[in-house]
Amino acid sequence: MEQFNVTGMSCAACQTRVEKAVASVPGVESCSVSLLTNSMGVEGSADPAAIVRAVEDAGYGASPKAAAVKIAAEEDALVDRETPKLRKRLLASLGFVLVLMYFSMGHMMWGWPLPAFFHDNHVAMGLIQMVLCTIVMVINQKFFISGFKSLWHRAPNMDALIALGSASGYIYSLIILFLMTRTVVDGDHARVEALMMEFYFESSAMILALITLGKMLEAYSKGRTTDALKGLMRLAPKTATVERDGAEVTVPNDEVAVGDIFVVRPGEQIPVDGVVLSGESAVNEAALTGESIPVDKSEGDRVSSATMNQSGFLRCRATRIGEDTTLSQIIHMVSDAAATKAPVAKLADRISGVFVPVVIIIALFTLMIWLLVGAPIGFSLARAITVLVVSCPCALGLATPVAIMVGNGVGAKNGILFKTAESLQETGQVDIVALDKTGTITEGVPKVTDVIPADGMTKKELLSLAGSLEAKSEHPLAKAILAECKDAYINFSEAEEFAAVFGKGVQGRIGGRRSYGGSGDYVFSHVAKDSVWEQRAKDLATQGKTPLFFATEDGFSGLIAVADTIKEDSAKAIAEMKRMGIHVVMITGDRKE
């Protein structure tokens, strides 16, 4: 798939137009445009230059995206640069609009005071309104550039209606201002005062300020939506250690090729997807799967980019690189999902495509009908322009992004993120909620839940034995036991002749006695098997706990169970959802029990 950067898009109508233009290029099999990242993916045999020309002919800009910097470029594209710009535009616009409203509405309707220069100086009043409106229009010139460009390419968008409505009111008011100067010369003061009421300068400026507010809220909402996506992109490793000519060399991640041999030491991220050639380790895959318990990896096992090697040394062969890695595919999936619009927002964009020409036709009909019934040209023109000004979709441009932003904001405050805007709109009709277990219902961190000593042992003695054995282990379950020893103020000695058996357990000499810890099969291969304790371990496992066996050369010592504990408020939250009539289910990759 060829990747391109696209510039000049402002709404879903622009996105659709770019997709249609590129789809018509010979050799293009499919085209997907992301409004969120301002990027485009094209599949097929079409010449990239022809694709760029098609986008430019549609009124937008395009350039090929370098393969080596695709994820970096997408992460850069997600930086929220629009909100600060729109905030400055809005503040500047409001400053001038408030002064304009003071002159046009405050003084004329409520008699608010003005400098003596403006008393009975109606032309000056009109001129100051024109200047203030002009400044607001210059500040918000992007609406006019985008709107009139879309009209030129016969693909009107929301900006076209905004530009037409604002420009029509401005031009009409300008004509009235010139008529006023003639009326002043003629000395018709009553007519001058009547013309003062015909100005639309404040309407033209207010339209732009309101829509800018809507655009800023939309950009702010989009910026918050992409935070999770930016976090995913930051997971991507930047470098890899590969074997080249018999030596280990650190290279940028994008220089790794399929078939390259790379090595990963404890504490390092796995740079690309691959298969283990040699070595044994526990790999934390929580970044991709959410599971808190690391997965043991040995020769022949597959490893994924952005997962963390926690204990041993791994030597692997690269199988998938760049955009083919699991992480990159997740990033693109989330990116495509986040670029979606709510159905109500899509409806607004579809309406604008039909609405603009319909409104223009209605305005022309209005003009002709008034002229046919004998109304003066000024009166008829005023009614036609009123149709354009009143029809400007402030509600579509402002209410929709405000509603979406508020919905996203309330959700975010409660720890709820919406994958797509459509999901947000449909949340009210939810019947079933599927909750991930690890990190959602549970804390996401292994903790000791049960300490069950054998006859002749105390809990303190069992924890001391386990702490001595696990102190030198790098396994996450060992860390849970050491944390429990610390919380219970348990002292333990250092194990001598320590050895870790990958995937099975640990052993060492404590106080002169050979001691063992780990799985049942491993421990009972060194001491006499006890079916009663095996059954107790199965009972713990059915509760979603991981049982660890401990023994010395003198006999079995006891069980310690480790589990991802349930959050304090999980039961209350699930009960509340059930009270709302929602069917709640749990998803886990652990065990059915």
Active site residues: 436
Could you tell me if 444 and 292 are in contact, meaning their C-beta atoms sit under 8 angstroms apart? yes
Alpha carbon distances (Å) from 73 to 65, 119, 254, 325 = 8, 58, 13, 17
Could you tell me if 135 and 204 are in contact, meaning their C-beta atoms sit under 8 angstroms apart? no
Q: Quickly list DSSP for 370-401.
A: HHHTT--HHHHHHHHHHHHHHHS-HIIIIIHH
Cα-atom radius of gyration of the chain, to the nearest Å?
35
Could you tell me if 470 and 276 are in contact, meaning their C-beta atoms sit under 8 angstroms apart? no
* Residue 352: CB atoms within 10 Å: 24
Sheet holding 281-284, edge to edge: 295-297, 281-284, 308-309
Alpha carbon distances (Å) from 375 to 369, 371, 388 = 9, 5, 19
Tokens matching residue 475: 């396994």
* CB contact burial 273-287 (16+ within 10 A = b; e otherwise): bbebeebbbbbbbbb
Q: At what angle do helices 343-372 and 12-23 cross, to 10 degrees?
A: 100
Alpha carbons 554 and 548: distance in angstroms, whole number: 18
* Residue 87: CB atoms within 10 Å: 15
Q: Which residues contact 435 (CB under 8 A, 6 or more apart)?
A: 441, 574, 584, 585, 586, 587
